[in-house]
Amino acid sequence: MIIAWIRKKLAIRSSKKLVRTVRGIIRKKGRFMAPREADHAEVRILACEEAIKRGSLHEIRASRKALRIFFEDNLRSYGKSALRQNVEAIVIAVALALAIRAFVVQPFKIPSGSMLPTLLVGDHILINKFVYGTRVPFTNEIFFPFSMVDRGDIIVFKLSEDNATDFPMPGKGAFYVKRAMGIAGDEIDISGRDILINGRAVDQVYTGNYEYPDQKFFSVADRYEQSLSGKDFSVIYKKGSSSTTSGKMSFPLVVPKGRIFVMGDNRDNSYDSRFWGFVPVENVYGKAFMIHWSWNLSNPGFADKVRWRRIFSGIE
């Protein structure tokens, strides 16, 4: 009974909308129509209205179908101009793209080598803005969080005003990409190349030399495979260095509530939480999940500039 009632209501609404559309075309474009076209349209409009009055779902659908066929065959050309249709399509596409960028996915370009070897200079990544919650436009207010930032996530964020500013960084308002190493309540300590979280060293295995791909750092580094919260990833250290740069922060330290401790995978060439402190959760804009484009502009020729193997690759 309820389903039948809903079907009837939807059919009536659709018929009324079609009637309004046809009547609007007749009112605006009637002077350009052949007399028979307007007369035939009125006959079919009246048939729709009578069917609605009688309340028969079968009649409503049949009269609507007849009016729809007549509209498509005879009146479609009197409707919106091609220019207006194209403009509306462009506006809708732009609005949809802006909505997706604002709430779901946003592109981001890697400007530095602080996340080597995971992310290279010239990588263009996509960040999932939905996973940590939807942000109210033009504010830092977040609602509907589906998950919280976890250790090992690669996040994109902005610095807050209380972060240190005496380091060579782009400054307030710029986006940064780092790996979350500690979350609220974690005790972080750095001892040599070991990172201890809550008294336990992050698992890591030395895997050999890493050669920098067209970077302006030292040419060879020590590469390690680390594992944190079920995520496996590579990090590098300056060759011959006995300890990770500790920056300006005093260790051990405890990550405050609502804050995240982040580090770059290029451990000896990254300004991160070791230097300017913790990242507020509300400043996190999303989680990096894919490289959609990558190139090295220093190579000659377009084909050589593009890093084809990195395109559409996932990010660990």
pLDDT of residue 207: 93
- Which residue in the block uniquely carries the two structure tokens 């405050």? 256
pLDDT of residue 199: 92
Encode pLDDT of 177-227 as tens digits.
999 999 999 999 998 889 999 999 999 999 999 987 765 555 788 999 999
Report which of 138, 121, 7, 3 is spatially closest to residue 61, judged by C-alpha positions: 7
Domains 2-78 and 104-314 belong to one CATH topology: no
**Which are the contacts of 198, defined by CB distance < 8 A and separation ≥ 6?**
186, 187
**Residue 28 pLDDT > 80:** no
Encode pLDDT of 216-225 as tens digits.
555 788 999 9
pLDDT > 70 fraction of the chain, expressed in percent and rounded: 81
Report which of 257, 259, 230, 261 is spatially closest to residue 246, judged by C-alpha positions: 261
**Band of pLDDT at residue 149, cut at 50, 70 and 90:** very high
CA angle 252, 266, 243 (to 5 degrees): 45
Q: Where are the domains of the chain?
A: 2-78, 104-314
Marked catalytic residue, from 15, 63, 112, 114: 114
pLDDT of residue 48: 84
**Band of pLDDT at residue 153, cut at 50, 70 and 90:** very high
Q: Where are the alpha helices (DSSP H) in 136-179?
A: none
pLDDT > 90 fraction of the chain, expressed in percent and rounded: 31
**Band of pLDDT at residue 9, cut at 50, 70 and 90:** confident
Active site residue 114: yes
**Mean pLDDT of the chain, nearest integer:** 82
Encode pLDDT of 224-279 as tens digits.
999 999 999 999 998 877 666 667 788 899 999 999 999 999 998 888 999 888 99
**Residue 119 pLDDT > 80:** yes
Question: 2-78 — its CATH code?
Answer: 1.20.1270
Active site residue 77: no
Q: Which CATH architecture has domain 104-314?
A: Ribbon (2.10)
Marked catalytic residue, from 129, 178, 238, 287: 178
**Band of pLDDT at residue 77, cut at 50, 70 and 90:** low
Mean pLDDT of 47-65: 84
* 8 Å CB contact between 274 and 245: yes
pLDDT of residue 259: 94
**pTM, two decimal places:** 0.68
